[in-house]
């Protein structure tokens, strides 16, 4: 059955990003994710770390967030994903992104979109 109301789509979208098991932290990867997470970068100054996601309010089941990461010199980013913790925890989902190489320390802005249909 397809969800017919924006109210229910929004409730489910909100649950996707909720604390206590939802997609609360974003990560970048140097290897492509799939059924398992990719390899996260390490090092740098400031050092790479997962970032907390602040999801916007859903509209008709769609919500977005933008997270900016510090990326160390010599790193090529090829994927991104979401986890339920700042470290360890569970990998929930991920995808390939357009590859970006960093010859020097830099930042990577990741825009996340969740769509509940």
Residue 99 forms part of a structural domain: yes
| pLDDT value at residue 78 | 98
Token pair for 21: 């098991």
Summarised one tens digit per residue, pLDDT across range 18-65 is 988 899 999 999 999 999 999 999 999 999 999 999 999 999 999 999
Residue 1 forms part of a structural domain: no
Residue 94 forms part of a structural domain: yes
Summarised one tens digit per residue, pLDDT across range 8-21 is 999 999 999 998 88
| pLDDT value at residue 21 | 86
Determine phi and psi for 78, rounding to 5 degrees. -125, -10
Residue 54 forms part of a structural domain: yes
Residue 34 forms part of a structural domain: yes
Per the structure, the count of domains in the chain is 1
CB 104 within 8 A of CB 73: yes
| Residue whose tokens read 């492509």 | 32
Question: In whole angstroms, what is the distance from residue 61 CA to residue 9 CA?
Answer: 4
Residue 44 forms part of a structural domain: yes
Domain hosting residue 10, numbered range: 6-115
**Average pLDDT score, the chain:** 96
């Amino acid at each position: 059955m397809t969800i017919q109301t924006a109210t229910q789509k929004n409730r489910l979208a909100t649950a996707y990003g909720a604390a206590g098991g939802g997609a609360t932290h974003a990560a970048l990867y140097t290897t492509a994710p799939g059924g398992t997470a990719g390899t996260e970068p390490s090092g740098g100054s400031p050092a790479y770390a997962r970032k907390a996601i602040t999801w916007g309010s859903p509209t008709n089941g769609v919500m977005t967030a933008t997270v900016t990461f510090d990326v160390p010199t010599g790193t090529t980013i090829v994927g991104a994903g979401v986890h339920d913790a700042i470290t360890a925890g569970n990998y929930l989902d991920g995808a390939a992104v357009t590859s970006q190489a960093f010859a020097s320390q830099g930042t990577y802005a990741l825009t996340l979109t969740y769509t509940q249909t």
